[in-house]
Every structure is written in C-alpha cells, then in structure tokens.
Amino acid sequence: MKTVDLTTRIKGLVFKNPVTVASGTFGTTGEYAGYVDYRKLGAIITKTITIKPREGNPMPRICETAGGMLNAIGLQNKGLDDFIANKIPYYAKIATPLIVNIAGESEGDFAKLARALQKHSRVVKAIELNLSCPNVEKGGAGFMKKRRLMKAAVKAARAETDRLLIAKLSPELGDVLEIAGEVLDAGADALGLINTLKGMAINIETRRSRIANITGGLSGPAIKPVALRYVYEVKKKYAVPVIAAGGIMTVRDALEFIIAGADLLAVGTANFVNPRATLDILEGMTEYCQRHGIRRIEELRGSFRHV
Amino acid sequence: MKRVDETVTIQENKRINGKYYKLVFKSARLARGVQAGQFLHVQIRPDAVDPFLRRPFSYYRIQHDRIEVLYEVLGRGTELLAGLGKGSHLKIMGPLGKAFTQQVRGKKRILVAGGVGVPPLVFLAEKNPVDYLLIGTKSRAEVLPKKELSKVRAEILHATNDGSYGVRGFVTALLEKIIQKEGAECLHIQTCGPAPMMNAVMDIAKREGIPGEASMEESMACGVGACLGCMVKTPEGWVPSCIEGPVFSFDRLVRTCA
Ligand SMILES: Cc1cc2nc3c(=O)[nH]c(=O)nc-3n(C[C@H](O)[C@H](O)[C@H](O)COP(=O)(O)OP(=O)(O)OC[C@H]3O[C@@H](n4cnc5c(N)ncnc54)[C@H](O)[C@@H]3O)c2cc1C
Ligand SMILES: Cc1cc2nc3c(=O)[nH]c(=O)nc-3n(C[C@H](O)[C@H](O)[C@H](O)COP(=O)(O)O)c2cc1C
Ligand code: FES
C-alpha cells in the first residue's frame, strides 16, 4: 500500500494530519492519554481558558438528546495563571502543535490573554477565540451578541500576537457568512466552524429543564448537517482556512468535511462516546485515500462536485 | 497508563427479581485490579447513535475474568440493555473512578445501600470484613435473592417502605438503631444509593460525628474527566465525580440543593 500524505498546512504552520480535538471535549492535561497517543494527532485544542478562574454552572450540566447532547458547563477552568504554570509545561513535552482556546468578557480580556500566550509562542502555535459560548450570560454570549465588540475582540487579540489566530463562530450570532467577513477584516487568519447550537430539554415529570442553566449547547451528530453547510458556504465565499467541528464521529463524517473544504477537523463530542475516535478517523482516512488512489489529502480537500 | 476500551460478548443478561437485571461477560483486562466502588462505562449499542452516550455501571462481582453487573431499568438506555441477549456485544471502558476505602481499622463498619447503590456495596462486603449491610428498598419484590447475598460476611438488615420485608420505613431508621446500640465513636459509614437517602445518611453522620464515604451518582458523558459534566461540589469547587470519585469522603462533599 502506498503511504498517504495527510500533511495539512495553514499559514506556515505544518500539521502532520488534519485531525484535532474540539475545545472542551478533550480535557486539559492528558485525560485521554491512556487511550490516545497525543503525538499522533494533527493538533490539540484546549478547553477555553479565561483570565480568572471560573467556577462553572450548577448541576445538572449535561443531558443526552436524540443523536447528541446538551451542555452548559459554563466555561469552568482554572484561569490563565494556572494554565501557564501547569498546562504549558505539560504540552511543551508533546510535539503536537497546541492551539489554545480563549474567551473574555471584554476586548481587553482577549488582548491580555493573547499577550500572555504570545510569551509562550514556542509551545502555543495558534490561538482560537471562543466568540460564541452560549452559556456565559454575562461573558461570551451577552458580549458576543454584539457584533461590534466581537470585531474588537479579534482586533485586540491580533494586535498582541503573531500566532495563527482562529475566530470560532456559532450560528447563534447572526449571519455566519457576514460575520466571517467581519472577523477576517478584523485580522483573523482562520475560522472555527461551528460551536454548539443553543437548545433545551424538559423533564415532563418535574416540568423543569434537564439542565440547571435551562438552555445548553447542542453538539454531536444532530448538528453535523448544519456544520457541514456552514463549512461549505464559507469555503465557497472566502479563501480562508477552516477548522471544522460539529458531529464528526466517524471517518465518513470527517471525509464529508474535507470534501466540503475543511482544513482541520475537530473531533468533539465523539471523544465521549469513543475515546479513540480521533485515531479511528485517521486510520479510516488513510484507508479511504488508498482505496481511491489519493496520495495527498490536498487532492481531496474542497473537491466537492457541484454536478 | 494504558486504558481499556474493550468490546465484550454478553454471556448472560437476565432479570433476577422485581428490580434488577444481571449482566455477565468476560474480560481479563476489565477485571484486573478492580476494587468495589469503581465503575464501567458502557456503550450499549456500539454501532448505533441511540442511546448516544455511554452509561456508567458499578462493578458488582468479579471472579477471575468474569464480570457481573446488576442494573435497574430506569430509562431508554437500560431498557435497550435489558433487551440484549447472550452473544450481543457491548463496548466497555474500565475500570474507572476511585474505589471505596477497602480496609477501615479500629471501627465498626456500616454499609448503607439503596437502589442502584446496592451492587457496589455488596461487592465491598464480599471482599472485606464489614459489620453491617443495611439495604433499603420499596418492597419485598426488590430485595435481592438470598443467593446473591450468601457471600457477604456481615449482618444484613433490610428496610422496605411498605414493610413487606425487614422493618417498615427508611433504611436510616436501621442506621439510627445501630448507632444507639454501638455508640457513634466506633462507627464508620459507607453509602451508595439515591441522593435523598445518602443526604439523610450524611445528615445523621454529621450530627453524630461519624466519618464515612458516599458514592455519588451523576450523569456522565466522558467518564474520564474531560467534559466537566458529572461535577460534585467540594470545598475546592466543582470536581469531576468520574475521576475524583464517584466515592468521596463525607467531609469533601458540599451540599447543593437538588
Ligand atoms: C458511578 C455510577 C455507578 C452506577 N452504577 C449502577 C449500577 O451498578 N446499576 C444500575 O442500575 N445503575 C447504576 N448507575 C446508574 C445508571 O448509570 C443509570 O441508571 C443509567 O445511566 C440510566 O440510563 P437510562 O438511559 O436507562 O436512563 P435515562 O433515560 O438516562 O434516565 C432515566 C432515569 O434515571 C436517572 N438517571 C440517569 N442517569 C443516572 C445516573 N447516572 N445515576 C442515577 N440516576 C440516573 C434519570 O434522572 C432518570 O430519572 C450508576 C451511575 C453512576 C454514576
Ligand atoms: C461538554 C462540551 C464542552 C465544550 N466546551 C467548549 C469550550 O470550552 N470552548 C469552546 O470553544 N467550545 C466548547 N465546546 C464546543 C465544541 O468545541 C464544538 O465546537 C461543538 O461541540 C461541536 O462539535 P461536536 O458536535 O463534534 O461536539 C464544548 C462542547 C461540549 C460538548
Ligand atoms: S463524565 Fe466527563 S468529566 Fe466526568
């Protein structure tokens, strides 16, 4: 069998393959190390970090829905200082490129986070801006619903870092194509598509929400067609690298996104169901390419046939 | 450490009384080094998206590579599980989580069990010297068959809500009696069951100054500390019960209104 070249390049960064993990679904330091050799991944994306530690939302925070789940974790994390003291040294030992996902309540927060991470540019290869987390009433959502501030956040981060800058969007924010244009103008190098869609589920016995926060972010196979559509439409309109997320469970899902034009594939909720999902997808991708006589993943990327 | 996610074949899966089903399969890797209180994370239909997430179940009994699980049908996942026959496959991660303290020196040990908390405590009582095993159920139909309890080396006391077996009322009434008889100073409690039962047990333990452990039952997604969905409140904040628990010392648990 011929080897398949899965190398993916984004603005000077080289990823040995396009498979990464979606923010908030792969832990912070080695939770999946017993199941997955992190060195085999194309990149690792961290859970969102904020400047100060965040306690997170009350319980229950998750519930299963048809073909997916709702979550309202509330961006629980130990904050920037802990990340720099404890997480950066962990990732420094792993050659896989690290993408750090950040969120703030103001453009100043984004600037401060980007500046702090820039100092660790040997380890931090890219910064992903979480512009859409639907669970943080005062922070992400309230702030991000305001498009002007969203642009300001991208600009502020851009001014502080030369790292690959990814703006992660949610369709909740309004017209994704329009917003994509705005954040690109503001200095983003790439787009993350998509974050979760806001949803809810009611326990009919208690008539209460099954999530303490009442609403939560829907993820998993249920949102895949939506994510795929956005990746396709954005790729058609802009020459911009895209990190795709949304219901990527199997190699078939992954290939659909590649054909639609995705550059990296972020495996999210699938990790919870199958801790080896990333590696299964990688193996399946190589097999598919061999079967179809594809020698470089580049040949497949964006090869969608309109007729 | 290498972690196990293994496809196993069901050897036995049948109803044993008015409440529980018993699931039996073999896996040397999933059985290795397991202690009572640890759990398995089960993908009930490995090739389907329904049920979507895995479901956590306690280890009930291990003999060499033979693993037994006792479960109650509560919803969609356990209903589908109950429908699976011999020869069906499950995909299982394990052993996960922290176990109960196995050896407690210088104390009389009381285990207080209810509902789906019975299996791990029977496991604990089979493997360790324990003084009392208190089991609370709704009625006689839910009481485990004698055979299932024959290897427990402890005094077993039952409480049923309707009085059809053992004493009438809640299992906490049994606990109060033992405290009166033995004196609080020499006791140690380990509990697993529905939240209201465990809360009542912990209230008594607190009042009497009795140390102990509770095994928490939160819905889980990942089972490995990655999703932050299965949190339990401690003095240091919310921590994932799948890795820091499910067993917690009483003094680490901060009550949240539920
Ligand atoms: C560490 C741990 C060990 C467990 N051990 C056992 C065991 O040995 N035997 C056993 O029968 N069950 C056990 N459970 C509970 C079991 O996981 C749930 O009963 C199961 O997930 C329900 O799935 P379902 O799809 O049938 O029900 P769902 O439709 O998901 O829920 C049905 C009902 O069960 C409740 N429920 C859902 N998840 C849980 C949960 N994790 N804990 C308690 N109630 C829940 C729901 O609130 C609902 O009322 C354990 C749970 C944990 C966290
Ligand atoms: C439990 C959970 C936690 C998440 N936490 C974050 C987060 O902290 N930051 C973020 O940008 N996205 C977060 N996400 C969104 C995912 O990164 C991803 O965009 C989304 O889940 C869609 O992909 P999926 O369907 O493959 O999970 C989270 C998703 C889940 C399910
Ligand atoms: S189930 Fe995901 S952190 Fe415990």
Own/partner pairs, A170-175, CB within 8 angstroms, 24+ separation: A170/A131, A170/A132, A170/A134, A170/A194, A170/A195, A170/A196, A170/A197, A171/A197, A171/A226, A171/A230, A172/A132, A172/A134, A172/A141, A172/A197, A172/A198, A173/A131, A173/A132, A173/A144, A173/A145, A173/A147, A174/A147
Cβ separation A60–B219 shorter than 8 A: yes
**pLDDT, mean of residues B197-205:** 96
- Based on the fold, state whether residues B88 and B166 are members of the same structural domain: no
Domain edge (last residue) among B196, B215, B234:
B215
Quickly state the pLDDT bin for B1 (edges 50, 70, 90): low
Which of B42, B63, B96 is the last residue in one of the domains?
B96
CB atoms A60 and B1 under 8 Å: no
**CATH superfamily, domain at A8-299:** Aldolase class I (3.20.20.70)
Are residue B85 and residue B112 in the same domain, yes or no? Answer: no
Domain map (residue ranges) of chain A: 8-299
Q: From the CB of B230, is ligand 3 less than 6 Å away?
A: yes
pLDDT attached to residue A140:
46
| Containing structural domain, residue B158 | 108-215
Q: What pLDDT sits at residue A136? A: 46
Tell me whether residue B11 is in a domain: yes
pLDDT at A105: 87
pLDDT, residue A145, reads 57
Q: How many CB pairs under 8 A join A and B?
A: 98
pLDDT digits 0-9 by tens, B148-166: 999 998 999 999 999 999 9
Concerning whether A133 is annotated as a catalytic residue, the answer is: yes
What pLDDT does residue A150 have?
87
Asked if residue B123 is part of any domain, the answer here is yes
Q: Does B235 touch chain A (CB under 8 A)?
A: no
What's the ipTM?
0.95
Inform me whether the pLDDT recorded for A24 exceeds 70: yes
* Model confidence pLDDT, tens digit, residues A119-144: 999 999 999 999 975 444 444 445 45
Distance from the Cα of A55 to chain B's closest Cα (Å) equals 7
- What pLDDT sits at residue A133? 53
Q: Does B51 touch chain A (CB under 8 A)?
A: yes
Q: Is the pLDDT of residue B59 over 60?
A: yes
Full-prediction pTM beyond 0.90? yes
The pLDDT assigned to B175 comes to 96
For chain A, give the mean pLDDT: 94
B126 part of a folded domain: yes
Q: Does B156 touch chain A (CB under 8 A)?
A: no
How far apart (Å, rounded) are the C-alpha atoms in residues A251 and B214? 41
Q: Is B222 on the interface with A (CB under 8 A)?
A: yes
In this complex, do B226 and A271 lie within 8 Å of one another by their Cβ atoms? yes
Let me know: does A194 contact A226? Beta carbons within 8 Å: yes
Same domain, B45 and B115: no
Mean pLDDT of A174-203: 95
CB contact under 8 A, A25 and B224: no
Mean per-residue pLDDT, B1-21: 92
Q: Which residue from B38, B216, B220, B239 has its CB within 8 A of the most atoms of ligand 3, so it is best to mutate? A: B220
Same domain, B71 and B131: no
CA dihedral A130, A131, A132, A133 (to 10 degrees): 40
In a shared domain, residues B88 and B174? no
Number of domains, chain B:
2
Mean pLDDT over the full length of chain B: 95
Residue B227 lies in a domain: no
CATH number for the domain harbouring residue B25:
2.40.30.10
pLDDT digits (tens, 9 = 90+) for A212-255: 999 999 999 999 999 999 999 999 999 999 999 999 999 999 99
Tokens standing for residue B239: 């921590």
